[in-house]
Amino acid sequence: MPRIAGVDVPERKKVLFALQYVHGIGAKFAKEILDEAGIDPDIRASELNDQQVAQVNTIIDNGYLVEGVLRRQVQQNIQRLKDIRSYRGDRHRRGLPTRGQRTRCNARTRKGRKKTVAGKKGVKG
């Protein structure tokens, strides 16, 4: 398995898609990296030679935030929002959506599984 930016990328996939297994590299950046390195995006990752892998690693190291550094930066940004007690920070702290979505229905991804609350008993009389 070729190791790119500290990540074992799948060797049976095309290089364009294998690069996207690195956190912080999407379709656009993968295409840019391959264009800069002069590598055909249609070849498989296993077909890359050591020189090409080293070239891709150098390009990523010099121009892109990926993996641990990117994850750390995102966490620091969220922590800063929490520390300054912004609205978005409070939403992060409570585990609710931060980008204006409604929570009356939906929002299950952020809120977790439904917690059923017993309704009031019908009072007769």
Residue 5 identity: A
Domains and CATH numbers, the chain: 3-63 (1.10.8.50), 68-111 (4.10.910.10)
Per-residue pLDDT reduced to its tens digit, 62-74: 999 998 999 999 9
Q: How many residues does the chain have?
A: 125
Task: Yes or no: say if 88 and 98 are a contact pair by the CB < 8 Å rule.
Answer: yes
How far apart, in whole angstroms, are the C-alpha atoms of residue 100 and residue 75? 20
pLDDT reading at 17 higher than 80? yes
- The DSSP bridge pattern shows strands 7-8 and 3-4 to be antiparallel
- Residue showing tokens 């990926």: 66
Band the pLDDT of 125: cuts 50, 70, 90: low
Per-residue pLDDT reduced to its tens digit, 62-107: 999 998 999 999 999 999 999 999 999 999 999 999 999 999 888 9
pLDDT reading at 27 higher than 90? yes
Looking at residue 31, its pLDDT comes to 96
pTM of the model: 0.78
